[in-house]
Structure formats: C-alpha cells, structure tokens
Structure 1
C-alpha cells in the first residue's frame, strides 16, 4: 500500500518505468509530441525535423532517438508511449512495429509471436 511521502521504485528488468523522474527527463520530447495534435505542427516537423526538435528543446539523446525512429530509445529518454504514438504515426510506424522494437523482434517476428499466443 502506498504511503504519503514514501518513495519506492519497482525494478522490472528491461523495462523503463514512466514515473515522475522520467516525466521530468522527457518533458521536452513529450511536449513536442503533444504538439502533433495540430496538423500544422505535424507538417512543420516533416518539413524540418531538426528545427522542430530544436524549437522544443530536445536534448541530443532525444534528438538521436527521433532521428533513428527508435521508440524504445525515446522511452528511455523520458518519452511517454501515449505521446510517442503521435510521433510513431508521423513515421508510419504501426503498433506492431513499435511492439517489435520493444521486444527486440522484427515486425514480422512480433506479428508471428502474437499469432502464436492466440
């Protein structure tokens, strides 16, 4: 049971937990992704990714993760998957593409993994 003022951290190997510390770390990245709710911002990003990332103050780690289209690295850099989904959409990445990245599988391997679980 949670107690006020009690700080705890659950360690799940290979998992980046989105907590207050991660939220602070990823503020600029998440703010940028939130901006993609507006079509003009999506278009501005597509026109000049570097300038758009600079405008929102992404750090070098976050910028490189975006350049690499690496959602897992974006999560490690403080990205919230719900905001990152907006960015993944711009990159034409499906939920299964992202699932593959998160599990270290190709999209096809991840799709087969899902089918094998059915």
Structure 2
C-alpha cells in the first residue's frame, strides 16, 4: 500500500477492539472449544441442559470461562480464545439467533445491529 502507516500489516499490530485468533488464543481457548464442539452430539446437549456447570467442569473450564458461557457472553468467550465456529454450537442449545451473537461482537444491542448492519 502506497500510503499505509509503517506499522500496518506488521505482526503484533493491534486491531482494537478485535480479539485476534492466534496461537496463544487457540491454546487459551482449547478447553472451551473442545467443550463447545462436543455439543454436536445429542446426548452431550442433554447433559449440558441438565446440569450446565457440571458439564463445563468436566472439560476443566476455569471460573472466568464458565461464567462467560453461563452468561452467554459471546464477546468474552471469543476474548478467552473461543473459536466462533465452535461457540455457535453453544448458541444452538438455547437457541440464540446468530444475529444476537453478531450484535454482541459489535458491542451493539440486537435491535441496533439489525437496523444498522442488516437494514431491518
């Protein structure tokens, strides 16, 4: 790019307030992602619904991660290393519209997100 700042496209450049998916965040979110991926099985979804906290503890999730899942704090789950494709499995248990997750990621209310981002 002809007029790009010197630090643009350099490793480690911050993109506030976007959580970056890198090696460290992948390692940090491994247990969360493994738990979320397990929800693809009907018996796992039943166990999750029956006793969510016990199910999360089975995967060794720490307090902060369990709290983020319990609150369905999508942005926090991503910040903690959750991969959005796996986190969507959690949203399917409730079910939560994907636009609600998009709104959370954008820091907007669901209504504002629908109006501003989707024109609805």
Task: Give me the TM-score of the superposition, normalised by structure 2.
Answer: 0.87
Give the aligned partner of residue 61 of structure 1.
64
- Runs of 5+ unmatched residues, structure 2: 1-9
For these two proteins, the number of residue pairs brought into alignment is 111
Q: 2:13 & 2:89 partners in 1: Cα distance?
A: 27
Give the ranges of 4+ consecutive aligned residues of structure 1 lying more than 2 Å apart after TM superposition. 7-10
Residue 92 of structure 1 deviates from its aligned partner by 1.4
Give the aligned partner of residue 4 of structure 1.
none
Give the aligned partner of residue 82 of structure 2.
79
Which of 46, 50, 58 is the equivalent residue of 1:47?
A: 50
- Runs of 5+ unmatched residues, structure 1: 1-6
Structure 1 residue 113 corresponds to structure 2 residue 116: yes
Which of 85, 89, 96 is the equivalent residue of 1:93?
A: 96
Q: Which has the larger radius of gyration?
A: 2
Task: Give me the TM-score of the superposition, normalised by structure 1.
Answer: 0.88
